[in-house]
Structure 1
């Protein structure tokens, strides 16, 4: 029995399915991580993997960047945790975050991206006095009840009605959410023509999973929110500081009222933020407690000094001139090489990429909305990704992946070779 097998058995005894979260490794891939550095992770058996998961995209500098590790170690020697008090590093990080986000005036810390989207929804409802939130089919905004509507339906939703992706969600919660197809302003306007008077906010992933916004879509959301008197929320838990230093708002040139951020704010560790206009974020001002217009937005670990130190160190490196252009160019080179290899083997697959995010999809055209992913061949995509994992390329099967500044030419060469080998393996399976 390998060390990974032993840890898997231990995990299955104490964790549901032996998993942390929803990810179960495929059969024969009982990976348990022991350490990580740069673009590589090492499991408890000593096997090294090239990692494209990157902490769900938050580790844009790679694992264990020396500057981030040094900042965490120095902060740990000073203070591990404070509650209900300002720390110097938290204030410095807050100032850096507000300066980074286009048009931002205020922010509140959170511990997770899920917490950030829940606060943003609460702020939108409080500011407008309305109930309903409009979100897009297939979009993921966290693990709270409101976020869990219309996430992964088996077919097209009965717009604007959505379904909960988890049991235990009250119908009353489902009824507060309106679901629309991404990239479809015409259908969106049909929904708001009927329900617009009760829409408190529109929440959107500027890049929905790996689906890019069509020209004019985000601009159309901005105009529609203004017309309705609703709050436009950009969920930048993934795109924030990933597409550009100013996130998707800088990248696409469209400004939201509120933007939510996650792990990258904590340098890849626990952390998050809601950042936006003063009139919305100041609803959480402590002096408003007990009065009308107060929004509770507080948590024991908000602005934790360790996370703040890691976040500050990360942001300093992301501000270096040319960082994002170089990362996008390298991602483009990788995805082009992968697409070429897939084409050689007639895989019937494309490689989508936006900035430094990418994903293999078994389809012939770029998806524009969630139903396009259903119409593709997700089973073939998952099967291919599992073959990549068997060749020690760490991905989450069927989900997007990320390039970090730590990935090397050697990593890319090995990745493309793994793609070719995976193609051969699947061809042999088809022959049998």
Structure 2
């Protein structure tokens, strides 16, 4: 277990005094394992006590080029010297919008936000304004940020019948439940039944192409595209996680399916607060006062939307992502870890399901194949907690869900991680 200094302990005590739960709400650890990251370089992070960790969390995804990448750092320093934000359209935002349109198949225009939550919320609002309808269909267990609409049926009990929506947070008005329809991911037949029953009310269907770490079944995304196209329902891909990770053109390129709109974030901001709604120009015209009437105009404003610092980081990041061999490194690192996880679990008689793609994945400790949210409920969560804890005690950092391979994870990082897995797996069966 990592050594904790008196300085770090005092900071942790102060965090518990001033922050609810002692954190910002992101990665919450048991008190005896809690630590504070002081810096990161490449594929490693360092805590206040000086302990070093191989990082598979990577800031929950955006740091695909590693921490403090020199090209990104240089671009940000140069941008900061010219001022941090102006609340007006700036040159770097225009340049980044052009890069995004050239990269992402569905993108004709771009609307910047500062977070994935904001992007998904605004994509749903734009669809409502464009269609004049109110209901959104989302998939059970999908995460589209923390807006009231997105937090419907993120973690519902299995007893809830489709398409009933259930809030997965306190503080959400009951009226929101009536505006969301819930379908099971990877189940096209049930989804079609729900859509057919609510054709007059559905403003959009929103889906994570890879739902958390569950890959789409062959034909599911294309079937969803065909179904929504047939009924003239806008299809939104939430690509906050998958954009520029699965491929340069995101899940749309990787799976060969083009939606009407998508949301992007994480990687495209290079580790800075930046996200965006991308899509058809006729839909995004609802953001243009001159092209909309009072009933359809969407008033979307944000102090830091498209700010030059984040856009500079995004431009620098995507320039490196376009370099030859970048995606081979990301997928290669993930493939090595995934293969080792399954082999070591099999050798120790631990039931395991490997889910996702090489660029974003995790395992479930379960006998049952996992293709949707309800399948995940059969997994042994206590075993997963013991597993992740054991890795952390051996200097391997990952989140509660997802490995985020990067272009800078080394063979040494991979071998150290695999060795930790070898040590931990025999200990986790309770």
**TM-score, with normalisation over the residues of structure 2?**
0.96
Which of 16, 37, 42 in structure 2 is aligned with 1:38?
Answer: 42
Deviates most, 346-355 or 113-122: 346-355
Where do 4+ consecutive residues of structure 1 move more than 4 Å? Answer: none
Aligned to 2:145: 142
Residue pair 1:242, 1:356 contacting (<8 A) in 2 also: yes
Query: 1:82 aligned to 2:90?
Result: no
1:284 equivalent in structure 2: 287
1:22 shift after superposition: 4.4
Q: Aligned-residue CA RMSD in angstroms?
A: 1.5
SS of the residue corresponding to residue 416 of structure 1 reads helix
Structure 2: segments with no counterpart, 5+ residues = none
Q: Distance in 2 between matches of 1:127 and 1:424?
A: 55
SS in 2 for 1:299: coil
C-alpha separation between the residues in 2 aligned to 1:186 and 1:4?
53
Q: 1:13 — aligned with what? A: 17
Q: What is the aligned partner in structure 1 of residue 124 from structure 2? A: 121
What is residue 422 of structure 1 aligned with on the other side? 424
TM-score, normalised with respect to structure 1: 0.95
Matches of residues 111-190 of structure 1 in structure 2 within 5 Å?
111-190=114-193
Check conservation: 1:152, 1:165, Cα contact below 8 A: yes
Q: Does 1:238 align with 2:253?
A: no
Find the counterpart in structure 1 of residue 29 from structure 2: 25
CA distance in 1, matches of 2:133, 2:231: 11
Q: Which residue of 2 aligns with 1:69?
A: 73
- How many correspondences in the alignment? 426
2:347 to 344, 348, 368: 344
Q: Distance in 2 between matches of 1:136 and 1:329?
A: 30
User: Counterpart in 2 of 1:370?
Assistant: 373
Q: How does 1:324-363 map to 2 (within 5 A)?
A: 324-363=327-366
Preserved contact between residue 286 and residue 292 of structure 2 (Cα < 8 Å): no
Secondary structure of 1:423's counterpart equals helix
Which of 393, 397, 406 lines up with 2:396 in the alignment? Answer: 393
Distance in 1 (CA, whole Å) between partners of 2:193 and 2:63 is 40
Distance in 2, Cα, partners of 1:29 & 1:53: 16
TM-aligned CA deviation for residue 112 of structure 1: 0.4
Change (3 A) 1:156 1:61: farther
| TM superposition shift of 1:134 | 0.2
C-alpha distance in structure 1 between counterparts of 2:291 and 2:151, whole Å: 30
Q: Which of 211, 220, 236 matches 1:208?
A: 211
Following TM superposition, by how much is the alpha carbon of 1:389 offset from its aligned partner in structure 2, in angstroms?
Answer: 1.1
Q: Residues 108 and 311 from structure 1, CA distance in 2 versus in 1: closer, same or farther, beyond 3 angstroms? A: same
Per the TM alignment, residue 322 of structure 1 is displaced from its structure 2 partner at its CA by 3.1
CA distance in 2, matches of 1:302, 1:66: 24
Segments of structure 1 that go 5 or more residues without pairing to the other structure are none
Question: After superposition, what is the alpha-carbon deviation per residue over 1:297-322, rounded to whole angstroms, capped at 9, x for unaligned?
Answer: 22110111110000000000111123
